[in-house]
Amino acid sequence: MKISVVQNILEANQRIAEENRQRFSAHRILAINLMSSPGAGKTSLLERTIQALKGEYQIGVVEGDIQSTYDAERIGKTGAAVVQINTGGACHLDSNMVREALPSLEIQNLDLLFIENVGNLVCPAEFNLGENFKVMILSVAEGDDKPLKYPLMFHESRVLLINKIDLLPFCDCSLGLIEERALQINPQLKIFHLSCRTGEGLKDWVGWLRGQVQKGKDLPS
C-alpha cells in the first residue's frame, strides 16, 4: 500500500514538473535546480554568479528553505528577482511549490532561473522541478566520501561544483578522490573547482554557464 502512495506522489510531481518545463522553454529560460547539503555554499555561489552575469542576463531566483527569508534577503541585495518558498518542515522542494512561486517572478522577462533547493544531500535529487539540469555543490570540508554515501545526488546532477578549495590545506580531503568517485557514478558529470570566498575558479564556471544560456537562446524557434 505504502509503495503505491509514494508512486502517486512522484507521478503527480512529474506531471507538474513537465508543465514547469514547458513554461520555461516557452520563455527561453535556462532553469537550474541547485542542490547541496546545508552550508556547502549555494547562496554564496548564487551571489557570485549573479554579480558576474547580471549585466548580460535577467536573472531570477527561487529560494527554498524550511523557514526564514534570510537567503532571499541576501539574494535581493544582488538586484536579482527573488521569491522565497518556506516548506514548513519539508526537506526538499517539489514541482508544485515551484509552480506556486513563479507568478511572483514575472518569468517572461527572465533569461536564467536558479532554484535553490533545501539544504539536503538526499531527497532533493528525487524530485524533478522542471529544470533544464541539476547542479550540485560539495564543499571540501564535507569530505571525499560523499559520492560513496549519497550517489543519487551525483548521478542526477549535470554539474558538480567543488567549493571552498581555499580550505583544502586544512581538510583531509582529496580532490582527486572526489572526482574519481563522482565520475564512477556519473561519467558525464562536468566538474569545476572553486572558492566562493576568494573567487578562485569562478570564471570557468561562469563561462560555462554563459555558454549554456546562449545555447538556449540560439535554438531556432
Is 123 a residue that touches Zn ion (CB under 5 A)?
yes
Instruction: Choose between 42 and 134: whose C-beta lies nearer to Mg ion.
Output: 42
* Residue 43 interacting partner from Zn ion, Mg ion, none (CB closer than 5 to 8 Å by kind): Mg ion
* Residue 146 interacting partner from Mg ion, Zn ion, none (CB closer than 5 to 8 Å by kind): none
Is 10 a residue that touches Zn ion (CB under 5 A)?
no
* Residue 156 interacting partner from Zn ion, Mg ion, none (CB closer than 5 to 8 Å by kind): none
Find the shortest distance in angstroms from Cβ 153 to Mg ion: 16
* Residue 193 interacting partner from Zn ion, Mg ion, none (CB closer than 5 to 8 Å by kind): none
Find the shortest distance in angstroms from Cβ 71 to Mg ion: 4
Find the shortest distance in angstroms from Cβ 130 to Zn ion: 17
Figure out which of the listed residues 6, 12, 26, 91 binds Zn ion, where binding follows CB under 5 A.
91
DSSP for the chain reads -HHHHHHHHHHHHHHHHHHHHHHHHHTT-EEEEEE-STTSSHHHHHHHHHHHHTTTS-EEEEEEESS-SHHHHHHHTTT-EEEEEE-TT-SS--HHHHHHHGGGS-GGG-SEEEEE--S-SSGGGG---S-SEEEEEEEGGG-TTHHHH-HHHHHH-SEEEEE-GGGGGGS---HHHHHHHHHHH-TT-EEEE--TTT-TTHHHHHHHHHHHHHHHHHS--
Find the shortest distance in angstroms from Cβ 14 to Zn ion: 16
Residue numbers at the binding site for Mg ion (CB under 5 A): 42-43, 71
Which set of grid coordinates corresponds to residue 30?
535556462
* Residue 92 interacting partner from Mg ion, Zn ion, none (CB closer than 5 to 8 Å by kind): Zn ion
Note the residues at the interface with Zn ion (CB under 5 A): 91-92, 123
